[in-house]
Every structure is written in C-alpha cells, then in structure tokens.
C-alpha cells in the first residue's frame, strides 16, 4: 500500500507501508513526528562533554522544536552517556533524549564494540550487550527522578524517548526499563523513535521487548553499518519495527515485524559510515560541530 508523507523543508516522500498485523497494532509511522524526534536526538549532542546549547534551548536542532523548558542535562563520563530531560509546553510532552558518541570518532567507536553479554534482570534467558545496558543504568536513577518531577508538574504529558547511535541504544533500554520496572505504563509513553541503533541483546530479549513495548520505530538509513552491529552470528537479534530509508532519504519502508527483514537494511553486506551520520537529511556531523563552537 502506498502512503505519502512529508519530510522537513516540505520534501515529499512516499512510504511503502506493509500493513501486517504487528504494524497495525502499532499504528502508522509518522514521518513528521520522526523529523521532530530526530531533531530532539540531534540536540542531545549539545549536552555534557560533547557540546553546549541545550540548557537554554539555543542550538540549531533546538529551533525545530520550540516550547522546551525545565531542561536538565544528564551525563556519565565513564559510559559516555549524554542527554537531557525536558518539557515541551506547546506539545505537552516530556522529552528524554540521548546522543551518540563523537561523530568524528564513530569508526573508532565501532572498532571498540565488544560482544560481552550480561543477564537482563527482568527476563529469564534474556541477555544484553553489557556496554549499552551500563550506559543506560549509569543515568537511570537521575532520569527516573527528572521524569517523575515533570509528570508531577505536568500530569497527562506523554513521555517520549529518542536518540541516535549509542543514544538510540540508551533510549531503547530506557523505554523498556520504565515499563519493566513499573515506573511507567505504556499508556504514559509515546512511541519510541530511534536512529541508527545496534542490536541490543539475544532473541529472548527482543521477544520480551516486543511483548512489553507496543510502538517502536527503529529507523535505519540505507547502508548505515551500525544496525548490523552486534551480529546475528553472535546470537543478537533486533527488536521490531524497522523503518528503512533509502540513500537520499526520499522513500521509507515500514518493514515487517521480524526485526530482521532482509528487504530492508538487512539486505546489505557492504556499508557506508556516512549513512549513519545522516538521518532524514539531518546531518549529525554538522550538527555536532555547531554544538562545539
């Protein structure tokens, strides 16, 4: 089924939406909302040790989402977790966003990824990659507290999580942790939009994730290498539902609910790191440099 969507700057795109049972259960992917969320993800690079501008909501990416207030940044030096929590008074949403690592050092970061798994505490037989889970837990208590305070101040506001690269992994862990721990229900949460996320854990974990979190849009871009880390060969498995964008970000496909649709990003064996640094025509490298200076 063909569906038309609209991207930033008025660019029109066509979505090839395969309306399986799982996709119907999630509702439909919203490219306009995704553009808003990728800018929230980009703004996270203006926090912590990476850059500045988020505290007073004065950055290039910030301009795409006016109305942000009550913003607090969070970071951990050892795990490289950087992000922020804030409230948007225009949309009545609480935003939790995390950055990736320095985009100028992305190849070194990929080289340093390891396959060390740890048991996931909420699920029998579930295992997750240690580093990504530790990045989330290093800021978890602070994020919990900030979200609690904002929900007390703004009852009824939905909580949205987002992130790019490492930040996508942290956001995805955060989404599940909120629900599995009982801190929030799925009714309190908006859909998860994340960009360029690696696999997080084994198939038991992805099944558990999909059973608890109803709406996830795991966005991939053409030959981005990061979604192929950590490999299926080492018993990792993606969560649903991938939204795959073509090379120039003009066409998206809502992939099947398997998490490993070989008609989407999984079709490629040769990769381009620059695809990781550009999502929905949002240039994460340029964005990062504007945060630094």
Q: Residue 293: pLDDT band by 50, 70, 90 thresholds?
A: confident
Q: What percent of the chain has pLDDT over 70?
A: 89
Ordered DSSP codes for 150-186: HHHHSTTPEEEEEEETHHHHHHHHHHHHHHHTTSS-G
Q: Is the pLDDT of residue 201 over 50?
A: yes
Considering the chain, what is the average pLDDT of its residues?
Answer: 90
Are 8 and 280 in contact by the 8 Å Cβ rule? The answer is yes
**C-alpha to C-alpha distances, 227 to 52, 152, 185, 215, 231, nearest whole angstrom:** 28, 36, 28, 19, 9
Q: Is the pLDDT of residue 247 over 50?
A: yes
* Closest to 222 measured CA to CA, from 274, 167, 284, 169: 274
pLDDT given for residue 110 in this prediction: 64
**C-alpha to C-alpha distances, 87 to 81, 160, 192, nearest whole angstrom:** 20, 10, 17
Q: What angle do CA 218, 243, 31 make, to 5 degrees?
A: 100
Range 172-199 average pLDDT? 97
Are 198 and 169 in contact by the 8 Å Cβ rule? The answer is yes
pLDDT given for residue 98 in this prediction: 98
Which tens digit of pLDDT belongs to each residue from 88-103? 999 999 999 999 999 8
Q: Which DSSP helix (H) or strand (E) runs through 118? A: strand 117-119
Measured over the CA atoms of residue 59, residue 153, residue 134 and residue 125, the dihedral's sign is negative
pLDDT given for residue 19 in this prediction: 34
The answer to whether the pTM exceeds 0.75 is yes
Which tens digit of pLDDT belongs to each residue from 6-47? 343 333 333 333 333 333 346 899 999 999 999 999 999 999
For the chain, state the CA radius of gyration.
Answer: 17
Which tens digit of pLDDT belongs to each residue from 103-158? 888 776 765 667 789 999 999 999 999 999 999 999 999 999 999 999 999 999 99
Are 254 and 243 in contact by the 8 Å Cβ rule? The answer is yes
Range 80-89 average pLDDT? 97
Are 117 and 102 in contact by the 8 Å Cβ rule? The answer is no
Range 233-251 average pLDDT? 95
pLDDT given for residue 21 in this prediction: 33
Q: Which DSSP helix (H) or strand (E) runs through 145? A: helix 130-153
Lowest-pLDDT range, 13-17, 190-194, 278-282? 13-17
Q: Is the pLDDT of residue 271 over 90?
A: no
Q: Is the pLDDT of residue 239 over 50?
A: yes
């Amino acid at each position: 089924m063909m569906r038309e969507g609209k991207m930033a700057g008025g660019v029109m795109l066509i979505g090839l939406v395969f309306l399986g049972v799982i996709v119907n259960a999630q509702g439909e992917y919203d490219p306009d909302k995704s553009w808003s969320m990728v800018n929230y993800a980009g703004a996270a690079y203006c926090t912590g040790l990476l850059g500045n501008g988020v505290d007073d909501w004065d950055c290039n990416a910030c301009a795409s989402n006016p109305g942000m207030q009550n913003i607090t940044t969070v970071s951990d030096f050892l795990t490289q977790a950087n992000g922020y929590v804030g409230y948007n008074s225009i949309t009545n949403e609480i935003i939790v966003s995390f950055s990736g690592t320095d985009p100028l050092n992305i190849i070194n970061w990929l080289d340093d990824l390891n396959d060390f798994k740890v048991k996931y505490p909420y699920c029998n037989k579930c295992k997750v990659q240690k580093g990504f889970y530790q990045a989330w837990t290093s800021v978890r208590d602070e994020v919990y507290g900030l979200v609690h305070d904002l929900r007390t101040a703004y009852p009824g506001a939905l909580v949205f999580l987002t992130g790019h690269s490492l930040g996508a992994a942290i956001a995805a862990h955060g989404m599940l942790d909120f629900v599995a721990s009982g801190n929030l229900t799925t009714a309190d949460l908006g859909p998860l939009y994340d960009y360029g996320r690696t696999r997080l854990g084994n198939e038991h974990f992805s099944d558990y994730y999909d059973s608890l979190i109803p709406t996830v849009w795991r966005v991939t871009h053409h030959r981005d290498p990061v979604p192929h880390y950590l490999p299926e060969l080492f018993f990792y498995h993606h969560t649903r539902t991938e939204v795959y964008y073509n090379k120039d970000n003009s066409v998206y496909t809502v992939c099947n609910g398997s998490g490993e649709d070989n008609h989407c990003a999984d079709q490629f064996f040769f990769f381009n790191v620059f695809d990781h640094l550009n999502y929905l025509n949002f240039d994460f490298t340029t964005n990062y440099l504007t945060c630094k200076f």
